[in-house]
Amino acid sequence: EDIFTLFITTRILNFLKGLKVNGEAAIEEALTAAKKEQGRNGLGAEILERLLAGEGLFAATAEGLKPVTKFKPGLFFKVWNQLEQVATQSGQLIQIPITQEAASKLTAS
């Protein structure tokens, strides 16, 4: 389960690297912009917002979002909380620090 969680954590970071932002953006801004897109970026942003809000990890299935029970949020947050920023593929920066309160506001919108 630890290896699975670390693998998914890497996939999440790769997702962030693929987002399009102008200049430097807070993660809240990057995820809000991604949610406006159709397809994978919008869905990925919704899933990441839920994870950051403490709801756990969800997988997109034909029946909607389903919880991924073998994912360990505690291990994910050990890695996540050490990050300051992520550079996108185009060299822009996404600032990572986010409080659980801020994440809760994202999922409410």
Could you list the pLDDT tens digit for every one of the 109 residues in the chain? Answer: 899 999 999 999 999 999 999 889 999 999 999 999 888 999 999 999 999 999 999 999 999 999 999 999 999 999 998 999 999 999 999 999 765 555 555 555 5
d(CA 62, CA 64): 6
Global pTM?
Answer: 0.84
Q: Which two tokens stand for residue 22?
A: 């102008």
Pairing of strands 93-95, 24-26: parallel
